Each structure stands twice: as structure tokens, then as C-alpha cells.
Amino acid sequence: MPFSHKSPAPALFLGLAITVAAIVAYSAYVTKRISGLRQLQNTLVDRNRKDSLQLLRIQNDLNSLALAMRDMLDHDEPYPLTAWSAQFQRIRADLEDALRREQEVAVVDRTPEQREYLSRSIAQFWDATERMFQVAQRENDGAAKTQILSLQERQAALSNMVARLLVQNNESEEKAAAQIAAIYDRVQQQVYWLLAATLTAILLTSLYLIRSNRLLFSQLALLSEQRSELAQKLIATQESTLRHISRELHDEFGQILTAIGVMLGRAGNQLASNSQLRQDLKEVREAAQNALEKVRSLSQALHPVMLDESGLEPTLDWYLATVQRQTGINVSYEKRGKRFAIDGDAAVHVYRVVQEALNNVIRHSGAKSAWVRLNYFPEKLELEVEDRGTGFDSPAANPAGIGLVAMRERSELLGASLEFTAPVQGGTLIRLIVPRNSDSHGG
């Protein structure tokens, strides 16, 4: 029966193009929204905050003037009112500086008339203040006090004006917060729509691929029952691997490669001994066997199955021997104290610390020997990895490499302590102390 199944490639390319276009369009949308949000924060929120700080500074200076004028009216000291002139000048210098800074960061929705009105009112206040001191200088304190009463009214009006500006800033911040929240809501809504569209596209593409693959392999089944069986196993294995690749790499890929080797051997046995195809099948079978060994080696390197089956100590026995055989570094392994079981997450984390520590010895220390010690105490497990290599720059140095940071994170997950020290003999000593009552301990 000839093949009549249409290639799924055009439809897949179309779906890919639509998905990419949707992602690009959404990225542009989010970029625009974020740019607008950043501009809103820079031009309004940040300026509002800085403006409010300067307005509070102005208000504080006005309150200082009010207290000074009250003391001037109530004072019964022998010195004249002109003695207050220096204090007024200091307040004036600070007030003018605050006013200048406030005008630089004033919110954009404030009209030029509003800005000019505050400056003009303060300037008029100081003009009146100078006239008051001139009257007081002519030894006419009574008339000067009368003008102080007028100054108090001006000061109260200025304080009210500044208070209104602060209220206006608060209202602007509330509006900005509402706008920012609206932007976040819109972006969040668009994220949900994009996720829904992407998941829908993935689902439709997956269904289309499954349907196409089933049709394709059903047609191939007419050519050979053996190939059909192999194809079904590959499909089942592929689907299962996609779902469970993080946990079942070793078992799933091992089954596939083992089945391929058996079938190739079976197919080769059906051919003549001098057949070139039989020789080719043998080479393919050898390649499959090599791939199987590499997959198992990779699986062991990523996460030894022995950790789950036997626990920490047997895994370290295997791993340290492997390191010594592959690198030529002499690794001494010592275990002291009464053993207790270490498995689960604790075993994984302790194993990774040993692995990373020995990787540092191999790559960076230049040492030819290393010591790994497991010290069991009633209340804790103490792991030590030591070498006589170059060590850190100083005993107090804080290691910041990615691997060492990962070791610190693992110790935190265990509720353990991790120490990096420099022994007297030189090199590096890494000590991990794990409490026995850690939730990750077995036994």
C-alpha cells in the first residue's frame, strides 16, 4: 500500500509562526507598558516624593518662623527685637534653598501660576520681615510687634498653601498608584490570555503530531510487523519520556536501547553470516550498546540511582572510587562514629556537597590527594573534604563561586552549617555539619 499521509511540516511551521508572532506582539506590548510604567514612576511618583520632602522642609522652616515670631511677641528680655535678625536669616537661607529645590522637582501637573504664587508669597513675606526689622532698628518695638502680627498671618497663609500642595501631591500619588495598578492588571490579564493561547496552540500541535504519527506508523506497520512493534515502543517510550524525563532517564532510555539491541541482534541472526547488512547491523547494535552505557553514565552523574536504593554511604563508596580511577587523585575515605541512616533529600544534598568539593579539588586546587571524612555524632553528621592544594586567597576569604554558592544553598536547605577554612598545612577544608533531627534524614 503506498504512502498517502500528508507531511505535517507545513502545518507545524504555520503554528510555529503564529506562536512566535503572538509572543513577539505580546513582548512589544509588555515592553511598551513597562516603558510607560517606568516613565510614570520617574516623572510623577519619584518627583512627587522628592517634592513632598522639600514641601515638608519648607513647612518646617515656616513653623520655625512661627515659633520665632511668637517668642518675639512674648519676650521680656532686655535685648531688642533686632537680635532675632540672625535667626531669621538662617531660616531664610534654608527656606530659599528648599524652595529652589522644590521648583526643580515640582509635579508636572502644577501650573506655572501655582509655582509663581508660592515664590511670590514667600518673597513678599521676607520683604515685610525686612521692614519689620527696620522699624525695630529705629527702636520702635511697639510698631515692630504690630507688623509681626501681620507677619504671623502671612506665615499662616503660607503654611496653609504648603499644606494644600502636600495634599495635592498625596492625591497625585494615589492617582499614580491607581494607574500603576491598572497597568499591572492589564498586563496580568494579557499574560493569562497569552498563556491560554500558547497552551491551546501546544495542545492542538501535540494532537496533530500524535494523529500524524499514528497514521504514519500504522502505514509502516503494513511493511513489517517487527518494525511496527518497535515503532509502537518508540512512541510509547517517547511520550513517557516527555512526561517523566526528570525522574526516569535511566530506566526509560535503558529500555529503549536494550530493545533496539535485541531486535538488531535478532534481525542480524536472520541474515547470512557474510552479509554486509549483518555487519552493518552489528555495528549499529554496538553503537546502541555504547549509547546505553553513556546514558547510564550520564544518569549516574546526574543522580545516582544508588542514592535512592542504598543511601549515602554506599553511593560515596562507589563515587569516590570512580573519581580516584578517572582522575588519578588519591582520595582517602574515613568513617567514624555510630552509623545512622541518611537517605532522602539529606543524602542527595550531602552527596552533592562532596561532589562539588571534589570537583573544586580536581579543577582548581592542583592537589594530588584529598580526604573525605564522615563523622557520626549522636546529634549530628559532620562531613569534611580536605586537600593540600592552592586554597583560597586568604583564610577569611568568602568563596563566591557558583558551585560554592550552591553548596551554601544546600546546607541551608538541610538546616546545616557550612565552613570554608584553610588548614595550617595549607589547602582548603570544607566542613558541613548536619543536625540529625533534620527533616530530610532517614532512619
Give the model's pLDDT for residue 372: 92
pTM of the model: 0.41
CA-to-CA distance for 423 and 419, rounded, in angstroms? 12
**Whole-Å CA distances, 221 to 22, 130, 148, 281, 363:** 39, 106, 107, 21, 52
The gap between the terminal CA atoms of the chain, to the nearest Å, is: 62
Q: Hey, do 11-192 and 305-435 end up sharing a CATH topology, with the first three levels equal? A: no
Q: Could you tell me how far CA 274 lies from the centroid of its own chain?
A: 62
Phi/psi for 26 (5° steps) reads: -70, -40
Neighbours of 346 (CB within 10 A): 26
Taking alpha carbons only, the member of 293, 430, 302, 307 closest to residue 361 is 430
Question: pLDDT tens, 161-217?
Answer: 888 888 887 877 777 777 777 777 777 787 788 778 778 878 887 787 787 777 776
Question: pLDDT tens, 306-352?
Answer: 777 778 888 888 888 888 888 888 998 898 988 888 877 777 788 88
Could you identify the residue written with the cell 500558547?
A: 198
Q: Contact 202/23 with Cβ under 8 angstroms?
A: no
CA-to-CA distance for 90 and 85, rounded, in angstroms? 9
Domain covering 11-192 assigned CATH 1.10.10.60 in the classification: no
Could you identify the residue written with the cell 492617582?
A: 175
Question: pLDDT tens, 368-421?
Answer: 889 999 999 989 999 999 998 887 654 434 455 667 777 788 788 788 888 988
Could you identify the residue written with the cell 539529606?
A: 346
Question: pLDDT tens, 20-77?
Answer: 777 777 777 777 767 766 666 666 677 778 878 888 888 898 888 888 888 888 766 6
According to DSSP, residue 81 is labeled G
Q: Contact 16/202 with Cβ under 8 angstroms?
A: no
Q: What mean pLDDT do residues 279-294 have?
A: 76
Q: Write down the domain spans for the chain.
A: 11-192, 225-302, 305-435
Provide the pairing of β-strand 330-336 with 369-377. Answer: parallel
Taking alpha carbons only, the member of 363, 383, 366 closest to residue 430 is 383
According to DSSP, residue 5 is labeled P
Mean predicted lDDT score pLDDT of the chain: 76
**Whole-Å CA distances, 317 to 4, 41, 59, 296, 407:** 57, 59, 74, 18, 21
* All cell numbers assigned to 200: 491551546
Asked whether the predicted pLDDT for residue 244 surpasses 60, the reply is: no
Q: Contact 249/299 with Cβ under 8 angstroms?
A: yes
Specify the CATH architecture of the domain 305-435. Answer: 2-Layer Sandwich (3.30)
